Amino acid sequence: MCVAISDHEVGIDTQKIGDVSDEVVRRFIKKQPGGAVENTYFWTDYEAVGKYFGVGIPHSLELSSNMQILRFQCQNYCISVCLSKGEECLPPERIISIKDQSTIY
């Protein structure tokens, strides 16, 4: 579970590394599958973009020129944050785990 707090539009997603299969990457993201980490980032990028636009799972992963995706790896999880270019995100050391109330990075 992830939570993003911002004064601007933002989309965020997290996924455990290895939970995204090659078939999911081919079917939903229309990309050539990579390794476990790359597949997981493909999925978290995809979900973060959908959340940014408020559409859930988007039909395609396309960023406009005024958007960016920031990626962080915390332990065995990938985190993708979609936000407008020029906006900033807290550094990974400020990301906390809600589950156990501790810093995970």
Q: Which long-range contacts (C-beta less than 8 Å, at least 24 apart) are formed by 87-92?
A: 87/6, 87/8, 87/10
pTM of the model: 0.78
Tokens 């799972």 appear where? 57
Mention every residue, 6+ apart, whose C-beta is less than 8 A from residue 34: 25, 42
Q: pLDDT tens digits for 53-101?
A: 887 666 666 667 788 998 988 889 999 999 888 787 766 555 555 455 4
* Residues paired with 72 in a beta bridge: 79
